[in-house]
Amino acid sequence: MTAKIHEFLEGMKDAGHTTPKKCYLCQPDQNNDTLIKLNNKLFKPYLKEEQILAAIKKMAAEIAEDYKDETPLFVGVLNGAFMFVADFLKAYQHPCQVSFVRLSSYQGLTSTGIVETLLDVQEDMEGKSVIILEDVVDTGRTLKQLVHLFSQTNVKEFKIAALFYKSEIYNGEYAIDYVGLEIPDNFIVGYGLDYNEMGRNLREVYQLNQADMINLVLFGKPGAGKGTQAGFLKEKYNLKHISTGDVFRYNIKNGTELGNLAKSYIDKGDLVPDEVTIDMLKDEVEKNPEASGFIFDGFPRTAAQAEALDNFLESKDMKVNATIALEADDEVLIARLLERGKSSGRSDDQDESKIRNRFDEYNEKTAPLKAYYEKQGKFHSVNGIGDIAEITERLGKVIDALD
């Protein structure tokens, strides 16, 4: 595909047109991989066409061996499986029938969590062996709906064949009978899979390029303006602000599994284990893949938590790009908080001794974190005194200078 694009551009040049300096679809990254741009996202090469076709050929051979004495009905799941079904049928040179069903649970890069049946299977399936051809199995929500559909028919049996299988996030409720390629939980496009209906026609598979993401850890004493600045930064850089306090309150208020688990520790007066907090952050990250990065606020608080965050981000092909501390004189911050306390009603903003205790706790906890990130060359200190716009500009200079 990219070769044809460049061929077209060269033809334009020969005809007297000016060739663009950079093809908007083809951009090399720092590893010299050719990136493609779909809507506002960059994707990098992941699986070549020959790898995909080899996996399909293997699947077809396995199914042919199991159904050599039957005429199975293959049901493709639209829209994503149309290429898979076409190439599978070319490889399956035995008697068979084919039909399609259409389900939907995705918008953009994320699953809505609600699966709709948009096109039902029309054929009489009674007594037939049905094999569902799925492009990708991840959380299992779509699969659950498929099982529900076919459990209401009088088929002889039905099995699941998945070209791509994300085992690390699959809930394991139903067996996957045939697997083409097991892949990690990365967002992929191409070979029938889309991002906002773009990219389905690509013959190879690309994955979302995480290298361009900006992930920040924001530090600051109470009153330093972290919340205010996070609001400006998330708008300017399309970042998602993840406040640990807000995440905890949301999960506990809504009675999520993690919220109930955290509450069980809190009710006993125990500290919530780091792995529970990490799991909450993981959920927030996975719910917002359209973000160009994340601002982590309130986590990590210890070197052990910082290491846990690094490990989690590494598993997603991401990293912390910088930790930024908003620095301000204690007396200035105390005056700010006491003034804020007049309107906020917060008791801990109205008592100077309590404010100083919070500062002491911050200094005690932040010192090892500062050393942890300084060792990685990622710690940055920014003057937090001045007009809000001036402070935002200082933060922007740090972020814009990141590799």
> How would you write the chain as a 3-class SS string?
CHHHHHHHHHHHHHCCCCCCCCCCCCEECCCCCEEEEECCEEEEEEECHHHHHHHHHHHHHHHHHHCCCCCCEEEEEECCCHHHHHHHHHHCCCCCEEEEEEEEEEECCEEEEEEEEEECCCCCCCCCEEEEEEEEECCCHHHHHHHHHHHCCCCCEEEEEEEEECCCCCCCCCCCCEEEEECCCCCEEECCECECCECCCCCCEEEECHHHCEEEEEEECCCCCHHHHHHHHHHHHCCEEEEHHHHHHHHHHCCCHHHHHHHHHHHCCCCCCHHHHHHHHHHHHHHCCCCCEEEEECCCCCHHHHHHHHHHHHHCCCCCCEEEEEECCHHHHHHHHHHHHHHHCCHHHCCHHHHHHHHHHHHHHHHHHHHHHHHCCCEEEEECCCCHHHHHHHHHHHHHCCC
User: What are the residues whose beta carbons fall under 8 Å from the beta carbon of 288, sequence distance 6 or more?
Assistant: 110, 240, 294
pLDDT tens for the chain, 403 residues: list them: 444 434 434 443 444 433 333 333 455 554 556 888 887 678 889 999 999 999 999 999 999 999 989 999 999 988 889 999 999 999 999 999 998 888 754 444 344 343 344 445 556 778 889 999 999 988 777 777 777 777 777 888 889 999 999 988 787 778 899 999 999 888 889 999 988 888 999 999 998 876 667 899 998 888 888 888 988 888 888 788 998 888 989 999 999 889 999 999 888 888 888 889 888 988 888 777 667 789 998 889 888 889 999 988 888 778 899 999 988 888 888 888 888 888 777 777 778 888 888 888 888 878 788 899 999 999 999 998 888 889 999 998 998 888 6
Output the pLDDT for position 238.
79
* 62/66 Cα distance (integer angstroms): 7
**Other C-beta atoms lying within 10 Å of the C-beta of residue 217:** 23
Output the pLDDT for position 16.
40
Output the pLDDT for position 46.
93
Q: What's the whole-model pTM score?
A: 0.54
Output the pLDDT for position 210.
66
Output the pLDDT for position 176.
92
Instruction: Say if residues 160 and 172 touch (Cβ distance below 8 Å).
Output: no
Nearest to 167 by CA among 190, 201, 138, 188: 138
Output the pLDDT for position 27.
52
Output the pLDDT for position 29.
52
Output the pLDDT for position 111.
40
Output the pLDDT for position 98.
92
Q: For residue 143, give the amino acid letter.
A: L
Output the pLDDT for position 5.
39
Nearest to 46 by CA among 186, 178, 180: 186
Nearest to 204 by CA among 31, 59, 2: 2
- The catalytic residues are 226, 301, 340, 346, 358
Output the pLDDT for position 114.
38
Distance of CA 281 to the CA centre of its chain: 12
Output the pLDDT for position 104.
55
Between the CA of residue 205 and those of 17, 140, 371, what are the distances in Å? Answer: 32, 21, 41
> Where do the domains of the chain lie, and which CATH numbers do they carry?
2-32 (no CATH), 49-208 (3.40.50.2020), 213-400 (3.40.50.300)
Between the CA of residue 387 and those of 116, 234, 237, 338, 392, what are the distances in Å? Answer: 50, 19, 20, 19, 9
Nearest to 59 by CA among 37, 83, 84: 84
